[in-house]
Structures are given as C-alpha cells and as structure tokens.
C-alpha cells in the first residue's frame, strides 16, 4: 500500500498551511556558478511573463552556461532553455521551440544585494518571430537538489503527463476520469474532516464536496510541470493534490466550501 502522505496525516485544513509546513523554508541561494552547492542541481523559480504565470528551473554550471526548462499552467510539456550567466548578474537565455529552433529570448538581470544572490530574476522575454516583448518577473521558490536530467527522465515525464490529464479532467468537471486517476484507498481531507475512500464509487459520492470552486482554483492556478518532490509524493496546487511515482493521485486536500 502506498505510504500515507504527510498532508493527509498532519494538516487537513487550509492549503496554505499545508504548503507552509511541507515545503522547506526558502533558502538563500548562491548564484555564483563556481559555488559548489549550485553545481548539478536545479533552482526553481515562479513568477510571470507578462500576465502569464510560469514555473522555471535552471541548472547553473561552473563555466557560466545555464540549462533549463519552463512551463505555463496549460503547457502540455516543458520548454527548453539554454544560455549564459555573465558576471553573476546578466542572465541571457534562448527558448527553443518544438523543432529545436530559437523561439524567444530572455534578457534578464539578477539584481541581488550581493553577487552571490539569485533570489530574483527580472528582465524581458522577446518572441523571435514577431519581436513582441513582455516583462519577466521571477522569484526563487526552492532548490530541487536534483539535476535537470531528472525532469526529463521517462519516469518524471510519466508523472507530469498524469498530472496534466488529472488537472484537465478536474477542471472540465469529469468525475469518472478523475476517479480513474486515483490510487485506492485514497486519502481525502475536506476542511477539518479526514477520510479514506476505498473505491471510485466512494470518491464519486463525495465528489462535489471535494471539488469545490475554491479547490479547483488551487488546481487551476498551479503548473503540472517541474513539481515539488519529496520522498512520499509529488505535489500539485500547493499541496492540494499529491501523486505517487506511478502518476496516481494518492491524496486530495480540499479546503471545503
């Protein structure tokens, strides 16, 4: 049986409290490519390109090269990035399209108080085909302690495809598809109420109480790519949904009405 995720065990109430407890405190991350703690791991950022929310992961290398991926909430998959960090401040990235051609450029700076600070990224995203430009505003959310290759592995991509499908089914109001995406028994919290639902039929009988407008808003706002990972699951919606490594939903944490 799948181990019970800590969200169902510790905090069955507000999604914000779930995330606050489960996620690590945002550390101060060194942006110096020569810093040992930066090499070979992905630093995650969340923010916006213009009005569009994104999640972006970057892997800094000792020679100043940077590789990364990013996605929007509705992205079917992540988009590839490659570029350089110059002088610890100037970060230039090229976004590549589906066929490997440059699609856009990120011209950004890291305005940290010290050369080693890379908590914030600001600048401009420019579309190659049209020259259309949008402001970029990003803030570091966490370090994954995993290399970029992890996020491109078949196992991780399988989980992301499952998360994309679950998110689409939930937002489209398709209870049968949602029920089919779960591992049973599934642990559920609705406000302060906790339960374990043993079958798809049991899930459907509680569906409207779980999938409230507030709960769906958490799911809609998050990005089913480059997700937070811990030993007991993979998180979507700030703790609203947890997946196992087979891509099945193992916990639903709804704030209720």
* pLDDT tens per residue, range 36-83: 556 678 999 999 999 999 999 999 888 889 999 999 999 999 999 999
Q: Do 17 and 53 lie in a common domain?
A: no
The residue out of 129, 147, 165 marking a domain boundary is: 147
Clarify whether residues 194 and 249 are in a common domain. Answer: yes
CATH number assigned to the domain comprising residue 203 = 3.10.450
20 pLDDT more than 80: no
pLDDT score, position 3 = 40
What confidence category does residue 194 fall into, taking pLDDT thresholds of 50, 70 and 90?
Answer: very high
* Percent of residues, the chain, with pLDDT higher than 70: 82
Asked if residue 173 and residue 125 are part of one domain, the reply reads no
What's residue 142's pLDDT?
84
Could you tell me if 75 and 115 lie in one domain?
Answer: yes
- Out of 147, 178, 206, a domain closes at 147
Of 62 and 7, more confident: 62
What's the confidence (pLDDT) of residue 32? 59
What is residue 162's predicted lDDT score, i.e. its pLDDT?
97
Q: What is the pLDDT of residues 132-168, one digit of tens each?
A: 999 999 999 888 889 999 999 999 999 999 999 999 9
Question: What's the pTM value of the predicted model, to 2 decimals?
Answer: 0.82
More confident residue, 16 or 188: 188
Q: Examine residue 177 and state whether it is found in any structural domain, yes or no.
A: yes
How many domains, in total, are found in the chain?
2
1 in any annotated domain: no
Structural domain for 108, as ranges: 36-147
- pLDDT value, residue 115: 52
Same domain, 226 and 182: yes
Q: Is the pLDDT of residue 116 over 60?
A: no
Task: For the chain, give the secondary structure using H, E and C.
Answer: CCCCCHHHHHCCCCHHHHHHHHCCCCCCCECCCCCHHHCCCCEEEEEEECCEEEEEEEEECCCCEEEEEEECCCCCCCEEEEEEEECCCEEEEEEECCCCCEEEEEEEECCCCCCCECCEEEEEEEECCCCCEEEEEEEEEEECCCCHHHHCCHHHHHHHHHHHHHHHHHHCCCHHHHHHCEEEEEEEEECCEEEEECCHHHHHHCHHHHCCHHHHHHHHHCCCCCCCEECCEEEEHHHCEEECCCCCEEEEEECCC
207 in the same domain as 142: no
Q: Which pLDDT score, from 0 to 100, does residue 195 have? A: 97
Residue 84 domain-assigned (yes or no):
yes
């Amino acid at each position: 049986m799948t181990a019970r995720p800590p969200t169902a065990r510790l905090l069955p109430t507000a999604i914000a409290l779930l995330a606050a407890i489960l996620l690590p405190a945002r550390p101060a991350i060194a942006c110096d490519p020569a810093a040992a703690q930066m090499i070979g791991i992905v630093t995650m950022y969340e923010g916006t390109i213009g009005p569009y929310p994104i999640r972006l992961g970057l892997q800094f290398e000792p020679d100043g090269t940077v590789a990364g991926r990013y996605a929007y909430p509705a992205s079917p998959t992540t988009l590839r990035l490659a570029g350089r960090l110059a002088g610890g401040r100037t970060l230039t990235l090229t976004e590549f399209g589906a066929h490997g051609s440059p699609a856009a450029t990120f011209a950004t700076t890291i305005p940290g108080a010290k050369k080693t600070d890379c908590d914030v990224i600001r600048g401009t995203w420019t579309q190659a085909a049209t020259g259309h430009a949008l402001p970029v505003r990003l803030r570091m959310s966490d370090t994954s302690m995993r290399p970029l290759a992890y996020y491109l592995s078949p196992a991780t991509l399988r989980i992301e495809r499952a998360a994309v499908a679950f998110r689409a089914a939930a937002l489209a109001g398709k209870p049968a598809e949602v029920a089919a995406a779960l591992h049973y028994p599934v642990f559920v919290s609705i406000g302060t109420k906790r339960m374990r639902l043993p079958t798809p039929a049991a899930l459907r009988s509680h569906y409207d109480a779980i999938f409230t407008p507030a709960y769906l808003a958490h799911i809609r706002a998050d990005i089913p790519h480059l997700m937070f990972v811990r030993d007991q699951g993979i998180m979507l919606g700030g703790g609203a949904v947890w997946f196992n490594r087979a891509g099945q939903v193992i916990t639903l944490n709804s704030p209720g009405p």
